[in-house]
Amino acid sequence: MTPEVISVCVNYHNDTGTLEFVTELLEQETSLAQRVIIVDNNECSEGNCGTSRLENFSREHPDVDYYRPGGNLGYYGAAKWGVSRYLEAGTLPEWIIVSNTDISFENRSFIATMAETFRFAPPAVVAPSIISRVSGRDQNPFMRVRPGRLRMHAYKVLFRFDLPTKAYGYMSRLKHRAVGSSGQAPPHVAARIYAPHGAYVIFNRRYFEAGGTLEYLPFLFDEEIFVAETARRLGLDVVYEPRLKVIHEEHATTGISGPMREHKYDAARYCADNYFPWGA
């Protein structure tokens, strides 16, 4: 049966968490045909990867595809690679979900509720309610409105050095505990927003049919801006829907110190220069 929902998850040294997440997905009670794509970013030398627990799991479950590029492609780099591999023989489904693996579900009706909620005129991108297990707050909307050019270029300076990056991380955690990612209390009804939180993003096929892509060049971070700007350029809608809810365990979230700070800086520079250029 041709899948109508494909969930793409990227694993990096978190086999146990990824197995738990995929098992929960397969237990979803829905009439929609589902498929799960696992992209394993764990490094290995060519021809010497061995067989992982995830690969064995996929062999036991016909609705799971396991892909291993042999190196770490980053978050959206791996997601794009996995979707491309699938589409070599498959067709574009109605929904493609790109997700962290430290996500869990309150019940087994999430996929069914999503399908019912957007049975008619689905938005191109859906941002569900993402409740942080750490803070108890909703991490969506990630951004309600488009940020200013000065703010985006200031991030290039901020993340260029370790000390201001650490200070930003500390202040950001305090803000998230208080009011969520956007800096404001989340709305209680569905609303159009600028950017969805990257931990769990739902794409309707309209996004891809209009020319949208997962081809984001930075290795990690700021995928939210990439999705928001792609949708904005194509005139597509991004909708926050609080009736859809997932839990973000935040076991495997990545800090922004050391090498990760360099990735954060690269992403900030890329987004500022490409989407918020001076003089535009």
CA distances from 136 to 102, 132, 178 (A): 15, 5, 10
In a shared domain, residues 79 and 134: no
Q: Can you read off the two tokens belonging to residue 128? A: 């569900």
In a shared domain, residues 212 and 168: yes
In a shared domain, residues 144 and 34: no
- Across the range 211-221, mean pLDDT stands at 96
- 3-class state of residue 11 by DSSP: strand
User: pLDDT of 104-151, one tens digit each?
Assistant: 999 999 999 999 999 999 999 999 999 999 889 999 999 999 999 999
In the predicted model, is pLDDT for residue 8 greater than 70? yes
Residue 152 carries which DSSP code? H
pLDDT band of 261, cuts 50, 70, 90: confident
CA distance 56 to 24: 17
Angle of CA points 18, 170, 144, to nearest 5°: 75
Please give the share of the chain, as a percent, with pLDDT higher than 90.
72
Q: Domains in the chain: how many in total?
A: 2
pLDDT band of 45, cuts 50, 70, 90: low
In a shared domain, residues 63 and 160: no
Please give the share of the chain, as a percent, with pLDDT higher than 70.
85
In a shared domain, residues 96 and 136: no
Beta-bridged to residue 195, according to DSSP, are 143
Helix/strand number for the chain, H first, E second: 9, 9
In a shared domain, residues 280 and 160: yes
pLDDT band of 157, cuts 50, 70, 90: confident
Contacts of 46 (CB under 8 A, 6+ apart): 70
| 110 in any annotated domain | no
User: pLDDT of 241-260, one tens digit each?
Assistant: 999 999 999 865 455 556 78
Residue-number span of the structural domain to which 100 is assigned: 1-105
User: pLDDT of 160-202, one tens digit each?
Assistant: 776 656 655 555 655 555 555 555 555 678 999 999 999 999 9
| 201 in any annotated domain | no
In the predicted model, is pLDDT for residue 46 greater than 60? no
In single-letter form, the type of residue at position 264 comes to K
CB 143 within 8 A of CB 224: yes
